Amino acid sequence: MARTSSRRSRRAALAGALLTSVLLTMSTATPANAVTVPVQVHYIDQDGWGTTKYDVRFNGTVSSYGPHGYVIQGELDAYCHHGAMTRQSVRLDYGATHRGWQDVRFWCDETPVPIYLHGQRDYGDSVDLKVGATSGVFNTYNFGSTYRISIGTD
C-alpha cells in the first residue's frame, strides 16, 4: 500500500513539475515591452455660433506587432453638416513617427466604418494618428491634432 501511495505522489509531483515548466515558458514568452494603447483621436470644426459642422472620431487601439510593426484597429465615425454643395469625406492618417504618412478615406455619410490596419516602423518607433474632414475651402482637408502613441517592442 505504501508503494502505491509513493507512485501516486511521484506521478503528481511529475505532473506538477511539467505543468509548472509549461506555464513558466508561456509566461516568459509574452513580450515584456509590448503595449496595446487605447486611443481617441478627434477633429471638431464649429461655425462662429458654436454649431458643430464636422465631428470626426477614431476610437480604438494601437498595438506593437513585433519590433518593426504595429496594428491599428477600432472604428472611424463622423458627422458632417448637410449644407455643403458636394459630398463630404473623412480620413484617418497614420504612420510610424520617423516614416511617411498613409491614409484611409471614406465618405462621411458611410461612417461608422471598422478599421484594421498593419504598418511597418523602425525598431521601437512610435505611431502617429490624426483624423480630418473636407472642411476647407474647395473641399480641402483640415485635421485635428496629431497623436503620438508609444507602443514599445516585442
pTM of the model: 0.75
What was the pLDDT predicted at 87?
87
Domain segments of the chain as ranges: 1-29, 36-149
CA distance 118 to 134: 25
Over the stretch 35-90, which tens digit does the pLDDT of each residue have? 899 999 999 999 899 999 999 999 999 999 888 899 999 999 999 988 777 889 99
Q: Are 101 and 75 in contact (CB under 8 A)?
A: no
Torsions phi, psi of 31, nearest 5?
Answer: -65, 135
What was the pLDDT predicted at 67?
85
What CATH number does the domain located at 36-149 have? Answer: 2.60.40
Which stretches within the chain are classed as H helix?
2-29
Torsions phi, psi of 45, nearest 5?
Answer: -125, 130
